[in-house]
Structures are given as structure tokens and as C-alpha cells.
Structure 1
Amino acid sequence: MTSTTLFDPLQLGATTLRNRVVMAPMTRARTTQPGDIPNDLMAEYYAQRAGAGLLVTEATQISPQGQGYSFTPGIFSAEQVAGWRTVTERVHALGAKIFLQLWHVGRVSHSVFHHGQPPVAPSAIQPKDTQVWIVGEDGVGRMTDCPMPRALSVDEIGGIIADFRRGAANAIAAGFDGVEVHGGNGYLVDQFLRGVSNQRTDQYGGSCDNRTRFLVELMSALADEIGADKVGVRLAPYITFKDMADPDIVPTILRAAEQLDPLGLAYIHLSEADWDDAPIIPVDFRHALRRVFHGKIIVAGGYDKQRAEAILATGLADLVAFGRPFVANPDLPQRLAHNLPLAQPDGATLFGGNQQGYTDYPAYA
């Protein structure tokens, strides 16, 4: 046990954090159209929450092919890079650090984003009970089923890794302190890791090491591009929605962590299920992850102050990320520090819209 608290500083790779509170990535769909461009409203939103030691942005597509929801931001055009630079400048002026989460949704998408063509995936397997949020011509957002994807060729896989590399370089050009790859929650990296979504017979499918190959090659490319100490990855071994229940995923994640360890990455970010009857991550998994991966570990998923400081005290995590509590509590670190009550978010204003339910939540009076 240690005496570590949420409010102790931490050296995270190349970055010094003033506390161990992380703002978790949360899709909010407030970009300027056309072009999915980050804007001044988004800069205000992140600046309001800059009491965190580290902010991880909402998931950001690395290419048009990587998009699966309306109004989510990109990091592939000059206009998007310029928009994100406005965000990083505001956050840095307030003393916080910020990483961009790089994203390719894979099969969790719709042909409306791809000129009528199907989404791409490791294998042509349609996810069951999986929907994406699409804003129609009437301006109304609706949840829509994902269609059958098509399988990527080996050459296309290399192209996606190149897109991630370009996204990381663009993130640094936009002023970010580093990047986090979204490797969980049923999106493209996760689809490669799980046998239920990856039934390839080439070097990217079949055995455990083949299923981890895409992730390892991707993270190696990013480490080469911007430096391993500026790169993290989010993984979700116990999250099974989007038709991703796989009995082999836990040993696969541990094998991937073992393979990533020599790269010297900044962190692994564990996305933990946070609904009422969600599976609890076993302590033996946490110990196993510590044995094979020697970078920092961030945990996220339903943590309050008591649970956060308890896991920090065990040494099984180095930082704790908070998602939904940051929506309605822009001053969340201050509220946690002083045991102040937390406001509750308005679920109807989570995705899309304007400042309502986004930047109009007040700090504690």
C-alpha cells in the first residue's frame, strides 16, 4: 500500500502532470460543419475542465474512413489541425496537459459516411445490436443499425497504420502533448484483437500473436513518429457490447501488453464497464498487467474519490480517469479535493447541439 492521492503530481513519459485526475475521452459531437472541425465552443469546454492533470480528448477519426458517428472531430485536414490548436492553447494556458485520442471505428459505422460504400473491418462480420448516431438532412440525430462491413486487404491495413501515423504527427503539430489510440469498446483495434470479429486466415488473424499484430505494428509506428513516451493506448478487456463477447480476449490483452512493453509507451488506459451489473475487473488481472507492462496505468469506469484513492494506494493504477462526472462538473478536481457534491448531467444534451448541456454547467458556487 502507498500514500498516493489523486492530487499528487506524476511524471507521465515526457509530460509532468500536476495531479492524477484524468478527464476521460467522451464523444460530444459539437464540431463545426462541414468538415468536422474543432471550434471555439470545444476550446471553451476543454478549458473549463483544465483542472485535471491530463485531459484526453473525445475520440477523433484519423481519416474519413475512420468515422462512424455524425459531427465527431477529425485530425486529417489542415482546418481540423488549426481548430485543435485553439483547444490546446487554451488548455495549456491553464496549466493542464492534453492528449488526442486517435480513432478508427472499423465496422461500427454506416455507408452514409463512406459515399454509399460499406464500412471496413478485419472480417466481413456484421455486428449485432450495434448502432451509430447519424444526423439526417432534417438536422435530427438518430441511432441507426450498422450494416455488413467488408474485409480489409493487407495493403489497406498498412494504409490505416499510415493514417494513424499521420494523425499522430498532426496532433503534435496542433500542440498536443501526446496521443492515445482508442483500442477498445468494439472499434477497429479491438475488432482485430477478438476472434469473434477477426476471422482472417492471413498474418493478421487466427493465433493470438496474429490478432495482436495490428495493434503492435500500429503502436510501433506511432512511437517511431512522435516518441514512445508521448503515446498511450486504451484497452477494454472486460467490455463486450457491440457484439464483442470473446472468451479469449483477456489473455490476448495481456499478450498485447507484453508485446508493447519494450516500446516504452507512456501508458495503458483501462476502460472498465461502469453500468450497474457490469463485470468487475479481477485483481489477478490487474497484477498480471503490472507484471507484463511497466509503463503507467490509467483506470476509468465508475470511479468516485474513495474508489480512486483506494486503487492508487494499492499501486495497481497510477492515474484515475473520470468521464460522465466531468460532463456536469467542469471543476470536478476541485469538487473531489474538497468533497463537494456533484451535479448530474442532462442525458438529452450529450450528443450534438450547442452550449446547452456542454459549456453551461457552472462551477460549484
Structure 2
Amino acid sequence: MQIPFIDLKTQYETYKEEINKEVLNVLSSTQFIMGPQVTKLEENLAKYTGAKYAFACSSGTDSLLLALMAIDVQPGDEIITTPFTFIATAETIALLKAKPVFVDIDEATYNIDPKLIEAKITPKTKAIMPVSLYGQTADMDAINAIAKKHNLVVIEDACQSFGAEYKGKKSCNLSTIGCTSFFPSKPLGCYGDGGAVFCNDDALGAKLKSLLNHGQGKRYEHKYIGINGRLDALQAAILNVKMNHFEAECKKRIEVGSRYSKLLEGANVITPTIMSDRNSMYAQYSIRVKNREAMIQKLNDAGVPTAVHYPIPLHLQEALSYLGYKKGDFPISEQIGTEIMSLPMSPFLTESQQDFIVNAIKA
């Protein structure tokens, strides 16, 4: 049986006529930078999340960078985050010469453990950057309460959780600033790099809008040092089509993820824990196993593709060795890094494909 890890081909074939039409419209207009497609996408994103402002940008990484720039992060500032995430989370902090300060994760959700945050706050702390990993938000109320007490900003790295809900509110609209990614494999993906940044504050919104376009207010008038963080109109057109179908895909993702967990009951694996006050978009459906390398080999032999997100926590990465962390500093992140593996996941994964995968795992 042929099983793609993420079935982008079936998705494209399903929406092909709509996507091709909108892409051709952009090509005919020759307006490739900014323009009506980007404006429409930003309106769609703001309406969907309930945020006052949504700004489309060039990638999820740039959305994080823009958020940090918007709150004026300076060299030496400290940003509290998790070591169990993709490097972009800490990379953007380090790019601004600020210091990533890591806090270990909750073993059930794989998200930052709010109980451990306060001990890491110092006079240099500027913000807390929780990651909504694998499609499930962190415990944002607890994190926001800590931030309010210490007068800190909260930036949600929601690069894997667009569409997810926490206590009835949408991810990306749960804190001071929300950031997401439209990388092709994400719950809402374009056909290249893309992202968005969200907020509800007027001044912050105006600054974010300027920063992503070279710090411009008016053309050739630059208020800030910014970046070229614009989203291509072609990608915006594709995302606008996909947004028409996104709610149905979200529902299907939850069904597929829940069915995996049900089918894997009794198997010698640990399935995702989804907290009762939130859901998950299952950007990855990740299980934990003690014999990961053997499991991956057996599944690959059976024709089941897998991936590992993430084998090496950030505090053990060579690029961040200057921070001075060592093995044993974040034991939960380290343990899960040796056990975690992701299975094929898509709204287009069929029940027969899923049955085949589960049977291969049980075997």
C-alpha cells in the first residue's frame, strides 16, 4: 500500500480547479507582491482567529522574528521558551542577540510546563514564548497569568497549531502576539514558505505591519529597521482557496487523530494526550516507543513512512552550545526526544491506510 507521510497530492487534486484559477488570476494581474490577495487573506485570518490584526508574512520563522522585533527585544534580553521544538523558536531569539532561557516540558502534552516558568524569570526577562507543539496549545491561561504578574509579553509560537482551540478561543489569539506558519506540511499550508502574525493592540499592529515591509510607513519613509517579510501574492491566493475548506479539514484531522488513538489502545506505544479544555490539529500524530529505531525500520520495510520531531532538544544543539546547557538539564525533553516518532497524518488519510499503519505497528 502506498501511504504518503502528508497527502498534499490528494489535497491539490481535490481543490485543483479552484487553486489553478486563483493562481492564473494572479499571474494575469502581474501583481506578485502585496495586493488584493494578501489583503483578502489577512481579512480571512483575522476573522477566523478573532484577532483584530493578522499580517501575512514570508514564513513562520519570520513571524517569530517580527514578533520579537515588535516588542523591541535587545541584546542581552532573556526570552523564556522550551527546548523541545524546532530550532526556529530559539534561533529567532539568538538572531537578535537575546538569550533563549529554556524551561522543561510537561510529559503529557510535550508543551512548556507553566509550573517551572516563574523560577527562570530574572530582571532581564522580556517575554515568554510557549510553543503549541504538534497542534495542541500550551496552557495559555497559566502562562498569561505569570506574564501579567511579572509585566512580561507572551508570544505564542503557534506554527503547528493554526486552527486549534483552547477554552473556546482560537490558537494565535491567546496572548499578546500569535505567530503561525503556512509551510506546506502545516494544518493550513501554502505551496512554499509563508506565515502570519496576529495581535489585538493598535500600536503593535501598526509596528508589525511596518516591520515586515522594511520598516516603511509610507513608501521610502522608514520608521524602523525592518525586514523583507512580505508574503507572495501567489501563496496568498492558494491559502485563500484552502481556507474555504479549512474547517472541514480541521474536523477531519481531529477524527483521524482520535481514530489513531482508539486503534492503538492496548498497543505498546504512548499516544498523544489531548487536554479536556482544548483540541489538537495534529500537525503531527506523534507516538512514543521504547524501541524507536527498530520500529521505524519495521514500518519503513512495510511501506509506512515515519519522521522524528524532534530527536535532539535545542539545549543539546551545537549552534546553541554557547548557552552552557548540558545533558541532564531538561530530562523530560531529553527522554521524549529518544522515544517520539510521527506517523502519516492528513485529512485525506483513508481508514484503510490507517488500519494498515496500525496493524504494522501492532505487528
Shared fold (TM-score, shorter chain, > 0.5): no
- TM-score, scaled to structure 1: 0.29
Higher RCO (CA 8 Å, separation ≥ 6 residues): 2
Task: Specify the structure having the higher radius of gyration (Cα).
Answer: 2
Q: Which structure carries more helix by proportion? A: 2
